[in-house]
Structure 1
Amino acid sequence: MKFYTTMPKALQPFYQNEITKAAAAFKKEHYMISWRHLERAHVLGQPYPYQHTAVHWKMLCFGIKLKNWKEVIGQIPRLLAGGVKSFVGHIPVGNTGGANVPPLMPMEIAKDLAEIINNTKTK
């Protein structure tokens, strides 16, 4: 069994870029754009416990700020279990992380994100 602990350095700027874009869009009240960047950050960070947990925390905060209680309730178990599942390498690859999708459902990864993931695996 392989344990995942840290995100590759080559992947970190792409993950951070999505987090930064999500915050900037939220500040401008472009909530759908903000959410899309959080989903993209989730796909990039999902295999890594710290980043995976951090994205779910941001999704929980997003739900609280917008009083989206479905999202808040949906994020709580994801926040509690996501990092552990990442650590042991048991994740639904491509899942975007929101309460609008089943938490264990694998999903197709956007082409640009798949390229980023593949190009940064060995670096």
Structure 2
Amino acid sequence: MPPALLKAFTAEMTAARTPGPTPQRWRAIERAHILSQPWPWPHTHTHGVMLRLAVRDRDVWEFLGQLVRLVVAAPGSAAGNYPDGNTGRTWVGINTPMPIPADLAALLSQAGVAMQP
């Protein structure tokens, strides 16, 4: 992961793991997920944090969905088969592309990550 992208990813991961309001933590981990998708280990790591947030929230549906995503994250990233902009949450289809926030799209573009138009 290029340095500028790693810096943004780390900031979002830190925000997701820092005690605070639940919606802010989920937003941070979703943003980290979008940044991590091209790289197997960071991508899998985001799903691990999502799994822990689901446990903390006692959200069984999210927990089960994250178990599945933990299994497919690394192979999907390694194969370049992931949906651009997908937030990684269970309520979003596992292969559903989503709009990428402009600031994250700029970081990904600068890092040379090819995205679907």
Q: Which runs of 4+ in 1 moved over 3 A?
A: none
Unmatched 5+ stretches in structure 1:
1-6
Give, in angstroms, the shift of residue 8 of structure 1: 2.1
TM-score between both structures, scaled by the size of structure 2 = 0.92
2:71 maps to 80
Offset from partner CA, 1:47-77 (integer Å, 9 cap, x none): 1000000000000010011110010011111
TM (norm. structure 1) is 0.87
Give the conservation status (yes or no) of the 8 Å contact 1:63–1:71.
yes
Aligned to 1:55: 46
- CA distance in 2 between partners of 1:100 and 1:82 (Å): 16
1:106 alignment partner in structure 2: 97
Describe the superposition over 1:13-36 as per-residue Cα deviations: whole angstroms up to 9, x where unpaired. Answer: 010010011122xx12x0000000
Aligned 8 A contact 1:8 1:121 in 2: no
| CA distance in 1: counterparts of 2:16 and 2:4, whole angstroms | 20
Distance 2:6 2:112 in 1: 11
Unaligned regions of 5+ residues in structure 2, if any? none
Any conservation in 1 of the 2:15–2:28 contact (CA below 8 Å)? yes
Q: Percent identity?
A: 36
**Partners of 2:3 and 2:112 in 1: CA distance:** 10
Deviation readout 1:92-112 (Å, 9 max, x if unpaired): 111000001001001110111
Alignment length, in residue pairs?
113
Q: Which has the higher contact order (CA 8 A, sep 6+)?
A: 1
8 Å contact from structure 1 (residues 42, 55) kept in 2: yes
The answer on 1:44 being equivalent to 2:35 is yes
Aligned mate of 1:12, from 6, 19, 22:
6
